[in-house]
Structure 1
């Protein structure tokens, strides 16, 4: 029987408590400023990222089954949110915020519908190449979008998409703010050095504290250093879904739900210890769905499991989702008491954290592996990335899912028959064919045509075609139709057809067909020698 509430704490051991608490605190120092930075990617105030570390994180901790997973939001989700909201022109900032929270709520509903329809395993079949293409597209999109904040440039509100934003950045370099660029690049240097030389030290917390101190004690903002939007003190207000935005936001909600689920399950499996229970995709759909619905009601972005924050959680010793509850409590403390300190945080610091966080998405080794192993997968990754960069990441996700379905259909629709050289099983004037799998509507005709072509091309012309059914597991109507049609077509050429080594359970079902029962009486079935 499944334990639905706080399943990761079932059988809790007191020795785990210290690790969970310390991991929750360590993860909070990374994920809270990182989530605030991701909110800026989506065009939202940093406070929206902070709120994503409250109720959504707590909801997942109470319902999710991945022990070391840390759930807030990710760069991929933030980019998709921005793409979804871009399709709502003419909205003032308040209306866009309402639409964003409606989108988060709808993502939760989509995840729950996927659970009810048992689509978890189907969604997981999206190819790794598609995910690689999405990561590359998201990484480059985020990189370009953060350059104005990093370098102190004026963002071009008319620039739409990767190419236009890149051109706008190149044109605006003459107006670069030296102070802003030095602070941002310095933050990047500190983050990189700490990650390599002292990974136990929370780099995001260090640069945030340093940035706040710089502003508080130097007055450097008077020299052009921009600060983030103020983070209000207190809890987020209730945000009800806007019914009028549902139709316009539905495509984005579906795409974000797919990515949220895929990222969450992938990170959960990557961080699962060997002796921990396997990841239950149905549970993850429910937990992430409820977390998203809770976030939609409390001014949050759609939640998902994050790679970097979950890695910190795991390294710090998290054994259960108690660590997630500790992180949520730390975020609550920030919202209630520490928010005024964030008023002195430079925007370039958030941009620096985002760029370091998404650097892992741009790994050319993945493309090199595809090029060496499967150029078709390489093509999928490149196409998805290019479509995402030129047409938007929502379109990129759609194209990626479509290409995955094409590849799957192409793979399963291949002929399930091949020529076998086994003189010990057949006579000198017989041709042995092996049926390598089950037949259904998609592959029955191509299997029939391939078997007929092999028989007609054989030299010398066989007197009998022997079809080995040892690998068959299931009887279908297309199977029966293929056997009957193939037998009749071979008979027209003067060639007999018999079946070899039919599994007993398959033979029992085949005999329910009047045609097969009569054919068996005529010697249609032969047992192996």
Structure 2
């Protein structure tokens, strides 16, 4: 069901509160219900994700406030719910560890604020330079590989807590997590193991057979009630640290580890935008306004910049919470504002109650959430469709599990752009026919610096194979734009052909490319000599 007024589907939407363009008051009830439903998932889930980065649970709660509020004001998706995600939380953990923040013994809030601010600043620069499309060029297989690495690392990293140990080693990588699990097994607490197993089974069953029931909320409430009215704490079940009353107070970012935080911030910024754009497009209904990359960049950037001053983790659109928001009937980002209000009420009224939450309960939430990231079916599908994409995903995942997730993200980006450059470098020159001593060749791809030399060599090889010919007609229909390097390559081709008694004729020169070519004395000479034609057919006929 679409809710936008017809005029807003094709017209330009306002930059502030764009999802309220054409809003119908009758949709308010749906938005309130959706916001409450999403909040029942996103609030406990965000608290759980904070523990991945070894941060206090209230940091996850705070991430449901300012970032979600800012996105509701600027974002273009009607139903996307913005807080933190398992991928972003894991990269945050890895970044804080690699930067030395996690082992410094100091309060990490200032460094977290700087990390979130850096993420927002990087996204802001990407928006200024309109890099939304460039970021989205990252191969889907790279994202699959990173998510597999995240899923396996976090799932294994939660096992010590599920066994009753308090160690959080996710940020130290997959191998360190395996070692921690082996060390935790002999010291497992039976009550904690039973609680963890029951929580995981309940979450899986609700997710499988009662998708509309907020499983995370049910499990959190059950864990709190068990801790309050049974002797769980007395038998060794660990509770989370004290949760303070109130909404987050403003903080200033710390500059103590700013240089060390930059590499992680780059990886988080890229994944935050990729996840947000993918979720926004994935939940968009036909007929709704299109999702624009640069608008999403602005909204995600602002959410992180402003959130950094209010103790928020780096934020992005989350699929599970957004799916709940959408399925509950969200019509606009008013649903997001309702979720913000719910998070504020939880912080103001329920802090002492949250302090009764067992660590194992939150670990169960994280475990179930991230295990789905290990998408074996996606790997099988890639293997069937494209071996290059399959191996990109495998290499990225393997690097994530061995060298670390930041290395995996960097490698995935390099592999993706390597594949792009290879594709751009591929030469596609085909014969279109020969008439009256003129050979027509079609360049069926754009010409760039990366492929102009190979294109020139391919043309010369085809001419040698077709001799004797008097002229070569080069159909440039696909060359929409050009560059000085390509111009020089065409001039060199003309000299090479002319040296063997073959004339170069150009056809179908497009206006975008001709803008630069007309500035060239060489090209103006071709025009004056009648060697530039409107079509390849006209050039072939001209030889009669």
Partner residue in 2 for 1:347: 359
Determine if contact 2:152/2:371 at 8 Å carries over to the other structure.
Answer: no
- Out of 269, 275, 287, which is 2:287 matched to? 275
After superposition, where does 1:28-47 map in structure 2 within 5 Å? 28-47=39-58
Partner residue in 2 for 1:513: 520
SS at match of 1:33: helix
Cα deviations across residues 428-467 of structure 1 (Å, max 9, x unaligned)? 75433111233232221121112112222x1554443332
Shift of 1:419: 2.3
C-alpha distance in 2 between matches for 1:504 and 1:395: 43
SS at match of 1:287: helix
Change in CA separation of 1:520 and 1:114 when aligned onto 2, cut-off 3 Å: closer
C-alpha distance in 2 between matches for 1:156 and 1:9: 42
- Out of 68, 75, 78, which is 1:67 matched to? 78
Determine if contact 1:437/1:473 at 8 Å carries over to the other structure.
Answer: no
Which stretch shifts more, 511-520 or 141-150? 511-520
Partner residue in 2 for 1:27: 38
- Out of 433, 447, 464, which is 2:441 matched to? 433
C-alpha distance in 2 between matches for 1:290 and 1:189: 38
Tell me if 1:49 matches 2:60.
yes
Determine if contact 1:154/1:172 at 8 Å carries over to the other structure.
Answer: no
Shift of 1:511: 4.8
Determine if contact 2:69/2:337 at 8 Å carries over to the other structure.
Answer: yes
- Out of 439, 442, 447, which is 2:450 matched to? 442
Which stretch shifts more, 128-137 or 103-112? 103-112
Shift of 1:520: 4.0
Shift of 1:237: 2.1
Change in CA separation of 1:106 and 1:146 when aligned onto 2, cut-off 3 Å: same
Partner residue in 2 for 1:468: 475
After superposition, where does 1:304-383 map in structure 2 within 5 Å? 304-383=316-395
- Out of 12, 16, 25, which is 1:14 matched to? 25
Shift of 1:95: 3.4
Tell me if 1:490 matches 2:501.
no
Which stretch shifts more, 465-474 or 275-284? 465-474
**CA RMSD in angstroms, aligned pairs only:** 2.2
Give me the TM-score of the superposition, normalised by structure 1. Answer: 0.94
Tell me if 1:262 matches 2:274.
yes
Aligned residues: 524
C-alpha distance in 1 between matches for 2:511 and 2:19: 44
- Out of 83, 96, 107, which is 2:108 matched to? 96
- Out of 6, 15, 21, which is 1:4 matched to? 15
After superposition, where does 1:76-475 map in structure 2 within 5 Å? 76-89=87-100, 91-153=103-165, 155=167, 160-415=172-427, 417-422=428-433, 426-427=434-435, 429-456=437-464, 458-459=465-466, 461-475=468-482
Shift of 1:518: 2.8
Cα deviations across residues 359-413 of structure 1 (Å, max 9, x unaligned)? 2211111111221121111111111111122222111111111111111111112
Cα deviations across residues 109-152 of structure 1 (Å, max 9, x unaligned)? 22112111211111111111111111111111111111111121
Shift of 1:333: 0.7
Determine if contact 1:159/1:168 at 8 Å carries over to the other structure.
Answer: no
Shift of 1:158: 11
Q: Which runs of 5+ in 2 are unaligned?
A: 1-11
Determine if contact 2:437/2:471 at 8 Å carries over to the other structure.
Answer: yes
Partner residue in 2 for 1:58: 69
Shift of 1:233: 1.2
C-alpha distance in 2 between matches for 1:68 and 1:505: 39
C-alpha distance in 1 between matches for 2:379 and 2:277: 23
Cα deviations across residues 300-323 of structure 1 (Å, max 9, x unaligned)? 111110000000000000000110
Determine if contact 1:153/1:169 at 8 Å carries over to the other structure.
Answer: no
C-alpha distance in 2 between matches for 1:177 and 1:495: 85
SS at match of 2:108: helix
C-alpha distance in 2 between matches for 1:497 and 1:22: 69
SS at match of 1:243: coil
Cα deviations across residues 248-276 of structure 1 (Å, max 9, x unaligned)? 21121122111111111110111111121
Change in CA separation of 1:380 and 1:232 when aligned onto 2, cut-off 3 Å: same
Change in CA separation of 1:211 and 1:451 when aligned onto 2, cut-off 3 Å: same
SS at match of 1:433: strand
C-alpha distance in 2 between matches for 1:159 and 1:71: 23
SS at match of 1:69: coil
C-alpha distance in 2 between matches for 1:430 and 1:498: 9
Shift of 1:344: 1.6
C-alpha distance in 1 between matches for 2:512 and 2:327: 51
C-alpha distance in 2 between matches for 1:339 and 1:520: 78
Which stretch shifts more, 239-248 or 477-486? 477-486
C-alpha distance in 1 between matches for 2:474 and 2:369: 56
Shift of 1:154: 5.5
SS at match of 2:249: coil
Which stretch shifts more, 302-311 or 107-116? 107-116
Which stretch shifts more, 104-113 or 507-516? 507-516
C-alpha distance in 2 between matches for 1:69 and 1:181: 35
Q: Which runs of 5+ in 1 are unaligned?
A: none
